[in-house]
Structure 1
Amino acid sequence: MDTEAHVTERDRSSSPEGGAEEGSRSARFLDAPWRGPALLGAACVAFLLLFSTFVMQPFLIPSGSMQPTLEIGDRVLVNKLAYRFGSVPQRGDVVVFDGTGSFVREAPAGNPVTGPVRWAAAAVGLAEPAETDYIKRVVGVGGDRVVCCDKRGRAEVNGRPVDEEYLYPGDAPSRVPFDIVVPQGTLWVMGDHRSRSRDSRDHLGEPGGGMVPVEKVVGRADWIGWPAGRWGSLQRPDASTDVRAPGPVGSHG
């Protein structure tokens, strides 16, 4: 008797009435009032992440190494297409780059649970960038000889002094003397707040000598997008471009 009862119960669940009930539940889910906004929100998030990954990424400034040009908490818009079609970084450009292999030996192990969430938040400028991402100013490109400092305390590129008006007030171009030739396909980069910036100078004695490979550049910081009171473009200083080039600028060797 128990067996017959179970069979009868199964038959009811598989009857047309049971199928109609399942279809009704599916229809209610598809017609739920929140479904449209939820799908639209998901599509918007996906679009923002794709746009940030391949075109333009907000980058949260986490330190004062680029003051006064960039303040802590600024969001700059990094143009990821700036160097995609044959263009190369130029002296004076403010660039974001992956410091793995130049500023840090290897990337730290990420958390598999919180890592993707943190990446997504950083991609839209809501969280600090990855520990291996840096933002600095290009001072020398491939083939340049960069020296600091001359008798008047100025940095020289290819024998010509550079008037670095963007430096933090009171900062010297460098308190660490150096005389380097930038290998082809790499960059010599420094922060505008030289006394607070860990940059190419801090890696002179390490493999690579503090040079950043051009292929590690994520993009060029072109605009300050936030806060609203600091909106504006980041122009390449004229003094940085008015330097004799000893050879092909920024080419790969």
Structure 2
Amino acid sequence: MSRTQRTDEGRGRLGSTLSSIAVALGCVLFLGGFVWGAVLYQPYTVPTGSMAPTIGSGDRVLAQRIDGDEVRRGDVVVFKQKTWGDLPMVKRVVGIGGDRIACCEDGKLTVNGKEIAEPYLPKGKFAVSGIPTTTVPKGRLFLLGDERSGSLDSTVHLDDGQNGSVPRDAVRARVDAVAWPTDRLGMLERPEGFAGLPGGISEPGPLRMLVIAVVAGMVLVLGGGAYGPVAKRMGRRRGSGSAREAASVG
């Protein structure tokens, strides 16, 4: 066996080993990302346009399963409250226990006397109208839709004895992203308007990292799997070249 053949054989073994490692690592990332995502996230279909333009009617969203105690102002949550209906609903949290909610000064919602910038609202529309100063009971949340003019939210339940609020334990998940349709695909922005209030805003969930893991795993699996056929084709080409060179010399 010539030195060139031994070198090619060594490279082939090394390439095959690296290919196997890439496929194995890719499978771990790909399957692990999917499994972990299924544990942490739940898909929901939003039936109405009460959260437009952030989330439209019929949009498919991915919501991270969280405990109600983790909810912060500005979060878009999935919750179920018997007095509001039989189906899960999606609204934005604008107040937590102890907050004083009112509207409107210069068309802006106020929380504890602070005007809240809400860039997610439909352009050209005020935050909402006709909310008297309302205190959110302890352990509860005040919820509004982003399409305030057509949203059945806390504003229509103000006389329920709890000032329109829902208990924290009614929350099932926090929406992290819109998954469908593709023209709205992407992560939801965390609203900075609430950042200056006590407790701040929530941190994004791990969805972005899970997507990166799945995509990286797919690339590794495809790349590692393609190594064998490519290496064989290149080996045949080198073999044919060496044969022609030997025949020319002979």
What is the TM-score when the length of structure 2 is the normalising length?
Answer: 0.61
Partner of 2:110 in structure 1? 156
Q: Which has the higher contact order (CA 8 A, sep 6+)?
A: 2
Partner of 2:67 in structure 1? 83
1:100 pairs with 62, 82, 85, which one?
82
Pairwise mapping of residues 134-145 of structure 1 onto structure 2 (< 5 A)? 134-145=89-100
Alignment check: 8 A CA contact 2:93 2:143 kept = yes
5+ residue gaps, structure 1: 1-46, 105-130
Pairwise mapping of residues 204-243 of structure 1 onto structure 2 (< 5 A)? 204-243=158-197
Alignment check: 8 A CA contact 2:134 2:163 kept = no
**By how many angstroms is 1:99 displaced?**
1.7
5+ residue gaps, structure 2: 1-33, 202-250
1:182 pairs with 105, 130, 136, which one?
136
Runs of 4+ with deviation above 4 angstroms: none
Alignment check: 8 A CA contact 2:137 2:162 kept = no
SS of the equivalent of 1:155 reads strand
The 2-side partners of 1:244 and 1:133 are apart by: 28
Alpha-carbon displacement from aligned partner over 1:42-85 (angstroms, at most 9, x marks no partner): xxxxx99xx86x632111111110000001121000111x337x
What is the TM-score when the length of structure 1 is the normalising length?
Answer: 0.61
What is the aligned-residue RMSD (CA, Å)?
Answer: 2.5
Alpha-carbon displacement from aligned partner over 1:205-227 (angstroms, at most 9, x marks no partner): 12322101000001100011112
Letter in 2 for 1:211: S
Letter in 1 for 2:88: D
**Count of aligned positions:** 168
Alignment check: 8 A CA contact 2:95 2:111 kept = yes
Pairwise mapping of residues 39-78 of structure 1 onto structure 2 (< 5 A)? 55-78=40-63
The 2-side partners of 1:79 and 1:177 are apart by: 30
Letter in 1 for 2:104: C
